[in-house]
Amino acid sequence: MSQVSIVGAYNTKFGAFIDVKDMISFKKKTDTRSFYDLIVEAGRGAIADSGLEAKDIDAVWIGTCSPGRFVGQEHIGPLAVAIDPALRFKPMTRTEAACASSSVAIYDAVYAIESGRYRNVLVIGVEKMTLLDTPAMTAALATCSFVPEEAARGATFPALFAELAKAYIARYGYSEAEIRNQFAHVAALCYRNAAKNPLAHVQNGPQTAEAILGMPDTGKGANVMVAAPLRLHDCSLVTDGAAAVVLTSTANARKTREKVVEIAGIGHAVDYLPLSKRDDKHRLAAGKHAVESAYAEAKITVADLDLAEVHDCFTINQLLCTEALGLADDGRAGHDYVAGRFGPDDIVPINLSGGLKAKGHPVGATGASMHALVYKQLVGEPIGLAPSNKAPTVGVTFNVGGSGVTNCVTVLRRVK
Amino acid sequence: MSQVSIVGAYNTKFGAFIDVKDMISFKKKTDTRSFYDLIVEAGRGAIADSGLEAKDIDAVWIGTCSPGRFVGQEHIGPLAVAIDPALRFKPMTRTEAACASSSVAIYDAVYAIESGRYRNVLVIGVEKMTLLDTPAMTAALATCSFVPEEAARGATFPALFAELAKAYIARYGYSEAEIRNQFAHVAALCYRNAAKNPLAHVQNGPQTAEAILGMPDTGKGANVMVAAPLRLHDCSLVTDGAAAVVLTSTANARKTREKVVEIAGIGHAVDYLPLSKRDDKHRLAAGKHAVESAYAEAKITVADLDLAEVHDCFTINQLLCTEALGLADDGRAGHDYVAGRFGPDDIVPINLSGGLKAKGHPVGATGASMHALVYKQLVGEPIGLAPSNKAPTVGVTFNVGGSGVTNCVTVLRRVK
């Protein structure tokens, strides 16, 4: 068990905070909620939620993936001083691990508190993606692949996850129709959940697998092929947003805070960056290591879980995460989703938030958002849907960077 | 005192690892030592120097400033798996704090070891800058300023440090000739030291202040004005390079390692990113906080120092660091350099490596390089010049990110 707990959290609205009317009229784009705004909103929100004041915060970590390319800003840590002048002269560090950039920020903060050097630490995850158009954003994201062998030869993340999907299909012998049906059920579940999450980017997505499967291949409202077998509705969103959590030692939290969720266990395992180095692309090999570490530290098994937020950057990855967590047998997660598992009334609801598919995926914010929303679930203040059957006490987050490369798994448990 | 020590270090050759002949002949540039190569060389070198094996390394942190813009690669942590397959499935995290990116990586690793979670941690600092031409590189570096108010309005780092220089000159009433003379003495000392450092980027720089002061303002061999009052020889270099250290708990190091240098104290203090927010630009206000923290933790005063490596991204900043460390009175550091202080025979030699001015400044590598080279000094294996008068036992590194914004100060002390 870590010695650290979450005592406050905040998640901004996720969306595309660019004034699109102005883009159509060829006026200057209006950045209605900037990268800088998002950091300040999330930081202030989490501090307020914790009941602490800015002066009580001893250090800040900010996780963000590629602001140098997305918004033209590096040297991110010091932007946190704008949250409150009381933060001037405090230590601030930015971490990066592709789409897991803010989970690793949380882990660095956990170590810092466990070292005894800091009492209260603010961790923010943030990304502003919509200043770029989609081709430019896709190219910027592709820098998180192994560039000399992947992006530099034209690979994009949809293409890399299509490789994982093809390996999965080959391994388990699914037909095109079968896998398409499985993926559609995963996506529809996320869209249904997001419809109840006021912070989600997409709240009016197709609500059933049938609706997705009935879409044409081309033309208006098409579910176009992006990188076979992955179609538009298998891909997560290009989103702006931020989330933040306040961490403190569990010993301190028990004495002084009202709503405490301990970081019961963490797992952080990294695989080869080049996909060509991996002969087991049908599963998250490093992800399984991370899950084992997190469960072992938390002294739990999968049977103890009450809910999960997993990294559905593409529908295939939601299947892989579900299996790596032990919530489905290898190769069988899709069957379970088709059978209606993992909804709000399941024993373990997955992606009650709507997931990356529908809540949205501001890449550097995603890890912090998972932690923030599971915190809110466990302290009885769910944003959007809650599990139907019982008040949850144990949740898990599974945040992935790159094509299954960086794997961050956190077990969270309500303390009080 | 931290509970962590350095037990091995490595510094690659610093230089411009692009085949310039090919650039002149309009052939494809040849990247003779790539970003990827530098990570692997530094990582393997530090592990070998520590006497450990790759399988003994429990986690990796990589500090790097802007590889997304410099080399088109993000998701940096997992590149460390290429050091050795034994590192597969270990946790790897990239940190960024502009030119202090690898000092903060070291601090995160210190916390991680102090948390008791990891025994041996590898920390690498790296940057590959010369794939960009100088204007593009200057623009990329400018993303480390507060972009909306600084880079987006045309500011560059020479211009921002010129603001610090002008504030310093105004505060202390120096004439143009006086400050130019002070700066020339700082630069000449770094060039002289670098001439003896086989890893330095520039080993044949002007060896005396007179040589610098005698240069013309224009034409061949000119010391051109870059951003008044800063001239070419006041600016550090655009350099490729990497450095790495292996850290372990001091308790473990005392039992098992031969050459041990403890991280006696650290200070990490961040100022407002926008220069316009600071009314004390004649000094490193946050730097003084970092120095106080580091000295207090190490239980030393400035009188205990035997050598220092400081962040001379521009000559003005070497003066500011010297003063913040307490090695010179405020406003008087330049007089001390003119009087011949801080050379190899001084009581506290500064930048025996040649500093950023002449060793070179691969921005993300600089913090790790400072730690690596001071480690080598303290264990009696100096790379280049050593202090003339005594075997050093206490050294300090002072690494700065941005225009005096991120300040990282580490006191290092030989244990055995």
ipTM of the complex, rounded to two decimals: 0.97
pLDDT recorded at residue B19:
76
Residue A199's DSSP bridge partners are none
| Type of residue at B376 | K
- Give chain A's residues under pLDDT 50: none
pLDDT recorded at residue A351:
98
Residue A244's DSSP bridge partners are A10, A124
CA distances (Å), B169 to each of A277, B175, B275, in order? 57, 8, 17
Chain B residues touching residue A114 (CB < 8 angstroms): 111, 114-117
% residues pLDDT > 70 (chain B): 98
Q: Number of H helices and number of E strands within chain B?
A: 14, 11
Q: For B375, phi and psi rounded to 5 degrees?
A: -55, -50
Between chains, do A98 and B75 touch, taking CB under 8 Å as contact?
yes
Of A69, A80, A402, the CB nearest to B69: A69
Which of these is catalytic: B233, B335, B361, B371?
B361
Q: For B305, phi and psi rounded to 5 degrees?
A: -75, 140
Torsion angle defined by CA atoms of residues B250, B252, B257 and B260, in that order, rounded to the nearest 10 degrees: 0
Angle between helices A134-141 and A157-172 (to 10 degrees): 70
Q: Is the peptide bond before A198 cis (omega within 30 degrees of 0)?
A: no
Of A81, A112, A147, the CB nearest to B111: A112
pLDDT (average), residues B200-228: 97
The H or E element containing residue A378 is helix A366-378
Does residue B399 belong to the interface with chain A, where contact is any CB pair within 8 Å?
no
Does residue B90 belong to the interface with chain A, where contact is any CB pair within 8 Å?
yes
**Three-class secondary structure assignment of A352-370:** CCCHHHHCCCCHHHHHHHH
pTM (2 d.p.)? 0.98
pLDDT (average), residues B258-271: 98
B135: DSSP letter: H
Give the span between the Cα atoms of A339 and A323, in whole angstroms: 15
pLDDT at B255 over 90: yes
Does residue B186 belong to the interface with chain A, where contact is any CB pair within 8 Å?
no
pLDDT recorded at residue A18:
87
Minimal Cα–Cα distance from B374 to chain A, Å? Answer: 23
Residue A63's DSSP bridge partners are A95, A125
Between chains, do A94 and B93 touch, taking CB under 8 Å as contact?
no
pLDDT tens profile B309-353:
999 999 999 999 999 999 999 999 999 999 999 999 999 999 999
Asked if residues B354 and B217 have their Cβ atoms less than 8 Å apart, the reply is no
Give the span between the Cα atoms of A179 and B313, in whole angstroms: 56
For an interface test with A, the pick among B4, B58, B62, B93 (most A C-beta atoms closer than 10 Å) comes out as B93
List the domains of chain B with CATH numbers. Answer: 4-132+238-252 (3.40.47.10)
Contacts of A295 (CB under 8 A, 6+ apart): A265, A267, A301, A302, A411
- Compare all CA atoms of chain A with the CA of B77 and give the residue at the minimum distance: A97
CA distances (Å), A149 to each of A34, A144, A192, A286, A314, in order? 33, 12, 38, 21, 22
Give the span between the Cα atoms of B146 and B134, in whole angstroms: 20
Chain A residues touching residue B285 (CB < 8 angstroms): 89
Does residue A104 belong to the interface with chain B, where contact is any CB pair within 8 Å?
yes
pLDDT recorded at residue A376:
98
Query: Active-site residue numbers of A?
Result: 99, 361
Out of A17-26, A394-403, B198-207, B397-406, least confident range: A17-26
Q: Number of H helices and number of E strands within chain A?
A: 14, 11
Between chains, do B91 and A405 touch, taking CB under 8 Å as contact?
no
Residue A222's DSSP bridge partners are none
pLDDT at B91 over 70: yes
Coil, strand or helix at A269: strand
Query: Could you tell me the pLDDT band of residue B21, with boundaries at 50, 70 and 90?
Result: low
Contacts of B336 (CB under 8 A, 6+ apart): B322, B327, B328, B342
Between chains, do A268 and B91 touch, taking CB under 8 Å as contact?
yes
Q: For B170, phi and psi rounded to 5 degrees?
A: -65, -40
- Compare all CA atoms of chain B with the CA of A77 and give the residue at the minimum distance: B97
Chain B residues touching residue A66 (CB < 8 angstroms): 68, 74
Does residue B51 belong to the interface with chain A, where contact is any CB pair within 8 Å?
no
Tokens of A161: 């996850």
Give the span between the Cα atoms of A336 and A353, in whole angstroms: 19
Query: Could you tell me the pLDDT band of residue B186, with boundaries at 50, 70 and 90?
Result: very high
B361 belongs to the catalytic site = yes
Does residue A97 belong to the interface with chain B, where contact is any CB pair within 8 Å?
yes
Chain B, residues 31-50, CB within 8 A of chain A, namely: 36
pLDDT (average), residues B112-120: 98
Does residue B280 belong to the interface with chain A, where contact is any CB pair within 8 Å?
no
pLDDT recorded at residue B261:
98
Does residue B143 belong to the interface with chain A, where contact is any CB pair within 8 Å?
yes
